[in-house]
Structures are given as structure tokens and as C-alpha cells.
Amino acid sequence: FLLNNELTDFSFRTHQNGVPIANRLEPGKRPRSSMAPTIIMKDNQPYMAIGSPGGSRIIGYVAQAIIAHTQWDMDIQQAINQPRVLNRFGTV
């Protein structure tokens, strides 16, 4: 017997505006997840391993840190500490 909170990762509404919600709860279904553990290889060697907490913001957090470190030559701690700019709901 196992107790966990994975059901909270589902949407409990099944439809919105008459359209089925993709992350609705159904038997045998896994919830959508934004987990993005990432390993970057360089010259066939592990170069960087990164992940983040943050729910639906995880993908943006990980992407920004990777870009800052690999493209802008920030030290990894600076890349992680930089302010985040995310837009999940439309144009800015």
C-alpha cells in the first residue's frame, strides 16, 4: 500500500467550454508533468546536469539557465541566480 499525492497533478475538471481537458483524470492515465531533468553532453562527455523545482515554470527555468551558461558564458551559479522572465499565458 502506497500513499502519495500524484492525483493532484491531474485536472479534476473533465471539460472546459465543451472541449475535453487533456490532463483530465482517467483510469490508467499518467498526469502531465513539466519535470525536465536535463543532461548536456559536450565532446561525448557529460558537461552539465540541471533540473529545477517550479511546477509549470520548470521548463522555462531550466531553459534560461542552460542558455545563460552555454550561450552567455555565465558561471553556472550566476545562470541559476539570474532573474527569471516567463510568460505562460500569451503575448507580452
> Residue 37 has what pLDDT?
93
What are the CA-CA distances from residue 11 to residues 25, 29, 40, 74 (Å)? 6, 12, 32, 38
Query: Measuring CA to CA, which residue among 6, 9, 10, 63 is closest to residue 36?
Result: 63
- pLDDT digit string, tens, across residues 3-32: 676 778 888 899 999 999 989 988 988 888
The count of structural domains within the chain is: 2
- pLDDT digit string, tens, across residues 32-90: 888 889 999 999 999 999 999 988 889 999 999 999 999 999 999 999 999 998 887 77
Whole-prediction pTM: 0.70
Regarding whether 17 and 51 lie in a shared domain, the answer is: no
> What residues make up the domain containing 46?
33-92
Regarding whether 21 and 61 lie in a shared domain, the answer is: no
